Amino acid sequence: MAPMTETVVGVGGATAGFDGGTDMVLNIGPQHPSTHGVLRLRLVLDGERITRAEPVVGYMHRGAEKLFEARDYRQIIVLANRHDWLSAFSNELGVVLAVERMLGMEVPERAVWLRTLLAELNRVLNHLMFLGSYPLELGGLTPIFYAFTERETFQTVMEEVSGGRMHYMFNRVGGLKDELPAGWTGRARGAVAAVRAGLPRLDDLVLGNEVFRARTRGVGVLTPEAVHAYGVSGPIARASGVDFDLRRDEPYLAYGDLAGVLRVPTRTAGDCLARFEVLLDQTRNALDLADACLDRLAELPPGPVNQRLPKVLKAPEGATYAWTENPLGLNGYYLVSKGEKTPYRLKLRSASFNNIQALGALLPGTLVADMVAVLGSFFFVVGDIDK
């Protein structure tokens, strides 16, 4: 048999002249509305079926890791909270935890519980974006309006406490920037209750829709073996039956005291539907965790939310690794210090970078029509891939 040849076209490219001995190479991107940013997929097609898939990344690369080396330990927080713009508070948190570990610094108890509360509110904000945008990619317009209604409720309380709408800049080495505004915990509790009351609308509208279920059930099945091979983490891994969550398995912040509230939802199907279901279950549990944190904060006596720092903050010489269970999966921060006021090296292990690599193993064999359903169910932010 004669070897197959390849003909490259872009989205919408003409297919005149194709015959049985020609594979079509289809470029999705690098700018495409279904990819949560500037991602390129290079697909090799046999008819309407994908035979090879290569995620091509780097179109949004900002060189954040190199910039870490030119900023002091107070300034690197502003770089850290932007790569996954839906998880800004969690991104800041990982960096300051790494620096505090290098310094051997103890954070006030009140700051620990506040960080845990704000991390869970940030988790809900992240998940609501995908719970609304994923049905949109499959043709369902209404869910995103409901999701943004609930997001606005939390955005209001997050903006009130931090001053930032997306990039909060509220973490500091040694604690948090400021004490809470007067009456904020009551308003936060009301926001949690309002979002909890609104979630059934998304559940009924999306999971109760037979078209959505037909487009997602049995589509894009990710095996546990592929999860381990590619280092996939977060809700995508748990939807494939890989039951691992740092908050439970290696507790940090106040999660060790929340073992009775923390639930780790899993599924075994590993398909697009399972990934959406896990994300919805995690949102409900994050609301429960937020309520538990608010209860604990009400019991704590007044106290500081940060430590006094020297004018010039220098970490001792050495290296450490801190990792957190971010909304999209495991984020790791490998910090190397030479005893200066800037990091010698700060390597970022972001969840989306590992997760998206699994598309190369997952997409072959699927139809082009299912590609958008699979891609959207991976719940990634391209800035988190490219850093």
Tens-digit pLDDT profile for residues 168-214: 999 999 999 999 999 999 999 999 999 999 999 888 999 989 999 99
pLDDT score for 7: 58
pLDDT score for 99: 96
SS3 348: strand
pLDDT, tens digit, for every residue of 252-268? 999 999 999 999 999 99
Own/partner contacts of 160-165, CB < 8 Å, gap of 24 or more, are: 160/184, 160/187, 161/118, 162/89, 164/88
Contact 133, 376 (CB under 8 A): yes
User: In whole angstroms, how far apart are CA 180 and each of 150, 198, 308?
Assistant: 22, 26, 18
pLDDT, tens digit, for every residue of 151-176? 999 999 999 999 988 899 999 999 99
Whether the per-residue pLDDT at 11 is higher than 70: the answer is no
- Tokens representing 110 are 């009140």
**Cα distance between residue 314 and residue 341, in whole Å:** 4
The model's confidence at residue 13, banded by pLDDT at 50, 70 and 90, is very low
pLDDT score for 59: 81
**Residues 6+ positions from 107 with CB-CB distance below 8 Å:** 100, 115, 174, 175, 306, 307
pLDDT, tens digit, for every residue of 270-311? 999 999 999 999 999 999 999 999 999 999 999 999 999 999
The model's confidence at residue 17, banded by pLDDT at 50, 70 and 90, is very low
The model's confidence at residue 3, banded by pLDDT at 50, 70 and 90, is very low
pLDDT score for 37: 65
Average pLDDT, the chain: 90
Question: Helices (DSSP H) in 163-271: which residue ranges?
Answer: 184-202, 210-216, 224-230, 235-238, 246-249
pTM (two decimals): 0.91
pLDDT score for 39: 83
Q: What is the largest CA-CA distance in the chain?
A: 79
**Cα distance between residue 175 and residue 177, in whole Å:** 7
Contact 185, 294 (CB under 8 A): yes
User: In whole angstroms, how far apart are CA 296 and each of 114, 246, 258, 306?
Assistant: 10, 21, 10, 18
Residue 116: which H helix or E strand, with range?
helix 109-137
pLDDT score for 19: 47
The model's confidence at residue 4, banded by pLDDT at 50, 70 and 90, is very low
pLDDT score for 38: 79
The model's confidence at residue 6, banded by pLDDT at 50, 70 and 90, is low
- Tokens representing 93 are 């948190």
pLDDT, tens digit, for every residue of 34-71? 455 678 889 999 888 999 999 988 887 778 899 999 99
- Fold entry, domain 64-386: Cytochrome-c3 Hydrogenase; chain B (1.10.645)
**Cα distance between residue 133 and residue 164, in whole Å:** 23
pLDDT score for 64: 87
What DSSP state is assigned to residue 178? S
**Residues 6+ positions from 70 with CB-CB distance below 8 Å:** 342
Residue 118 burial class via C-beta count within 10 angstroms: exposed 0-12, middle 13-18, buried 19 and up: buried
Contact 280, 267 (CB under 8 A): no
pLDDT score for 12: 43
What DSSP state is assigned to residue 207? I
Domain extent listing, the chain = 5-56, 64-386
pLDDT score for 9: 54
